[in-house]
A and B are shown apart, each in its own frame.
Chain A
Amino acid sequence: MITYENYENEPVKKGLYDKITDIRTICSNTADLNIMEVEISGVKCAVLTIEAMLLTLSISQEMFGYLMRFREENCDGERVFKFLTEESLLSTERKTVYNYGELLRLAFSGFGVVLVDGLEKAVAFGVQGYDKRAVSEPTNDINVKGSREGFIEVVRTNISLVRRKLKTPALRFEMLQVGKKSRTDVVIAYIAGRAKQEYVDEVRKKLKGIKLDTVLTSGYISTFLEADRKSIFSSVFQTERPDVFCAKLNEGRVGILIEGTPFALLCPSIFTENFSTIDDYVSKPFYATYIRILKYFCFFVTIAIPGIYVALATYHPETFSHNLLLNLVASEEATPYPLYVEVFIMMIFYEIMREAGIRLPRAVGGAVSIVGGLIIGDAAVKSGLVSGAILIVVGITATASFVVPSINEQTTILRLVFILAGGISGLFGIGLATAFLIFNVCSMSDFGVPFSAPVSPFTKKAFLHSMGRADFKKLQKETSDISKLNGAKG
């Protein structure tokens, strides 16, 4: 007996009612399944659609109207099928299916499937038209002077966004279905001749190896693409921007678009990529370079400054100049807890506020910032629970963390680790934490490209490009190639 567990490879039956019964059995007559029986030139047929997954106007005007006008004497199923598949243009996408797995996958993707009596096959027409979000500005990768287009949740729309920017036949898309239950459409995108074939093969292999029931966000897939899952950082780059996606494809990376998420994945990826934005390529090189260096500095500030402050003020006060030291002593004298406890509590408090601000509706989120930042902060200093200097440190750290949002998860945890390390053993702890961080970053290597490139292994040109932005006149002479960062020339 056919069920939802064993239908995948079952061939489509011959009789129309057998087909309809099988489909209804597999889907347990689910409420969103529509099967309309119709007679086309005397042959019994049925059209299978899924509720709200297709353009009603399109299907009724073009498909049904066209089918109903077809009249021939002594017509049989094969003739109707030939008409549907060879003599009509009902849609730009048409597929003949032979098993229930493919039939239902297409139906659930918004295709209209025509079943014909007496044939062990069916034909599906692409008439998708479900509700979707309009292409709009990305919420995370915000820029000032670049494009306002961002990926949306529909993978086919995302493909078109990429194609519009790269009108080359070398741009290739390969569609796979991932997720045993969700059968999510996942698209591998690459530019032939730019991306190494090994990268494409490796990505395809990894995607096919995913045995998850569902794939609902990019996070489900990125884990499987990473070589070192224990690392703090991810070697898979995420972006919401088609322009960034195209730029990275042109550098030889392989992109992955996933149905249901506006975040596209790119691999292989390197650490320094987190510090460049599309705006860098709009501004003048000197300013873009300055901003990029500022971002590196902000990364250092956001992970290390609270810890270093705790370490210096607690164990190495001789490092501070005399006047600064006196000021710090005066502000810290009245506070009841050890410095590192104060900073740790303030950082946790900041994280609570940030998380509340993100999850709450925007109108209320603003209020959280006011309550947290102004009222509680001010009260904490006045009551002597924390010193004013700590508020400055926490404030600078929090602000700096917004400068490199793509690695916010990592910096949040590392910051706490640095505070604890500095609080327990001063700059020795900071040194240990730094060594651990460097080990962690440097041990990562996906697709033969070290995550720490081009800093280590050092590649002069790429290093200069990662520190600053070269002029387009120089850039046009040689396109960056990710595969050249493997240190082979070092």
Chain B
Amino acid sequence: MKKISPTQLIVLLFVTRAFLSTTYGVSQYRLNVVLSMLSALVAIALQLVLIIPPLVLTSESDKDFLRVAFERSKLMGYGLSLLYGGFFFFETVRLLGIFSYFLKNQFLDFLPVPLLIVALSLVGWYGSKCGIEGLARTAGVGVFIFIVMFFVIIFSVTGEMDIYNIQIATPVPENLFQAFMGDVFLKTAGSDELVALVFLLPYVRKNKTKATLSYMGIKIFVTEIMIFYSALILGDYAGGLSQPFYTLSTYAKTSVIERYDSIYMCVWTIGTVIKSAVLIHLFTKNLHSLRIKYPSVFAWVLPTITAVLLAFFGMYDSFMFRVPSVICVIGLCGIIPLALIFTKRKKEVKAYED
């Protein structure tokens, strides 16, 4: 198995969620900035708990996740290949839809969504053929662009900052706990990269735990800054927006460039393509484990046709965007790896007793 460095893992995970981070809807539950920042912290704490089983699993053996499953039992191997393959397939289709609709609604109303989906998935499929090492290196270049973009947004709106915009006394929702937890789950649901982490950890050369924790640290830092900055610039208005940080990019301007949003869209496209490449790669990996013979183009055709059909029948709004991803993330990242550890231990105990 080809290996990537811990830094490459952090970078790869960071880039795969960059679009989601920078267009994040933090305010669906109308929490004020402090509560929103707090919910982000709780969400990270929940995610830290979730990543313990995959870390334990890879610390015990450096084997591929599916190989570990197949070693437990063939049925479990096939079952998990199907389950995870299905998840990555679903996430690919969903990502293609989310980004295509975002483009259609915000920038490219003259282009049909199916065309956007086909173009995105085609480049993503090409990227998926580079392998994890190639993808990690691509993310290494992509992260430079993202960092530049992030700081340009931050600095170009600095003049608009006003501390009075932070309205801590924003009306608190009636059922605060439910709203707060709803926000926590929403933030966790957006962390589908944690499921990818389960598959990526065996590729990491060393310091897996340190790399994962560093990633979580960077993630919470970036998220908190974004929430804080959105509130600092936009004030109460941020609460009514589905994508407050994206709004900052339309707000940002310099003497050379009047509006930055379309430039950021270009950068988001790169991030989305990298993420789709990772998802398609992992989807293909699971398909291989199922021992199904298929032409390689199948890995591009299947998600693309599905996404195009869903868009054609308008099913993204009614179905795809409503699927409770948090259950998938908790199940696939936390519970199943935990079950694998438990199964092994049970076997070991039985063998000892025998």
Contacts and interface: CB of A to CB of B under 8 A. Distances in A.
Given A425-B108, A457-B137, A436 B126 contact: yes
Interface in B138-189: 138-142, 144
B131 A443 contact: yes
A456 B263 contact: no
Given A456-B137, A458-B140, A432 B258 contact: no
B312 interface: no
Contact of B270 (A316, A321, A438): A438
A410 B183 CA distance: 48
A434 interface: yes
A439 B134 contact: yes
Contact of B265 (A431, A439, A450, A456): A431
A318 B8 contact: no
Nearest to B7: A490
Contact of B5 (A428, A439, A487): A487
B297 interface: no
Given A321-B258, A442-B130, A428 B141 contact: no
Contacts of A321: 255-258
Contacts of A488: 5, 205
B308 to A, nearest CB: 16
Given A319-B263, A321-B256, A487-B5, A442 B138 contact: yes
A435 interface: yes
B262 A457 contact: no
Interface string A342-380: 000000000000000000000000000000000000000
B123 A436 contact: yes
Given A321-B255, A442-B130, A455 B140 contact: yes
User: Mostly helix, strand, loop or mixed at chain A's interface?
Assistant: helix
A313 B59 CA distance: 53
Given A319-B262, A427-B266, A428-B265, A439 B140 contact: no
Contacts of B140: 442, 452, 455-458
A438 B142 contact: yes
Contacts of A315: 107-108, 262
A426 B106 CA distance: 13
B5 A490 contact: yes
Contact of B269 (A319, A322, A435): A435
B137 A430 contact: no
Contacts of B6: 490
B36 to A, nearest CB: 29
B273 interface: yes
B343 to A, nearest CB: 34
Interface in A285-327: 312, 315-316, 318-322
Interface in A440-463: 441-443, 445, 450, 452, 455-458
Nearest to B11: A456
Of the candidates B129, B133, B136, B266, the one having the most CB atoms from chain A within 10 angstroms of its own CB is: B266
B259 interface: yes
B127 A435 contact: yes
A428 B117 CA distance: 12
Contact of B130 (A434, A443, A457): A443
Tell me whether chain B's interface is mostly helix, strand or loop, or mixed.
helix
Given A315-B108, A320-B258, A428 B269 contact: yes
Interface residues of B, number: 47
B111 interface: yes
Nearest to B115: A425
Contacts of B142: 438
A431 B270 contact: yes
B262 A426 contact: yes
A234 to B, nearest CB: 17
A432 B265 contact: no
Interface residues of A, number: 35
B141 A432 contact: no
Interface string A470-490: 000000000000000001111
B270 A434 contact: yes
| Most interface-central of A429, A439, A452, A489 (chain B CB within 10 A) | A439
A425 B141 contact: no
Contacts of B269: 427-428, 431-432, 435
A435 B130 contact: no
Contacts of B108: 315, 425-426, 428
A319 B120 CA distance: 24
Contact of B268 (A312, A431, A487): A431
A257 B137 CA distance: 32
B123 A435 contact: yes
B197 interface: no
Given A428-B269, A442-B130, A318 B258 contact: yes
A456 B141 contact: yes
A452 B137 contact: yes
A487 B5 CA distance: 7
B148 to A, nearest CB: 13
B265 A442 contact: no
Contacts of A450: 133, 137
Interface string B218-235: 000000000000000000
Given A315-B108, A426-B108, A443-B131, A490 B8 contact: yes
B79 to A, nearest CB: 32
A296 to B, nearest CB: 12
Contacts of A430: 266
A438 B138 contact: yes
B277 interface: yes
Contacts of B126: 436, 439
B141 A452 contact: yes
A490 B263 CA distance: 30
Contacts of B120: 432
B123 A427 contact: no
Contacts of B26: none
B274 interface: yes
B267 interface: yes
Interface of A: 312, 315-316, 318-322, 425-432, 434-436, 438-439, 441-443, 445, 450, 452, 455-458, 487-490
Given A321-B255, A435-B123, A442-B138, 15 more contacts: A318-B258, A320-B258, A321-B257, A425-B108, A426-B262, A429-B119, A430-B266, A432-B119, A432-B273, A438-B142, A441-B141, A442-B134, A450-B133, A452-B140, A457-B5
A-B pairs, 9 with minimum CB distance: A456-B140, A431-B269, A490-B5, A443-B130, A442-B137, A443-B134, A316-B262, A427-B266, A435-B273
Interface of B: 4-8, 103, 107-108, 111, 116, 119-120, 123, 126-127, 129-131, 133-142, 144, 205, 255-260, 262-263, 265-270, 273-274, 277
10 contacts: A321-B258, A428-B111, A435-B274, A438-B270, A442-B135, A443-B137, A452-B137, A456-B139, A457-B136, A490-B6
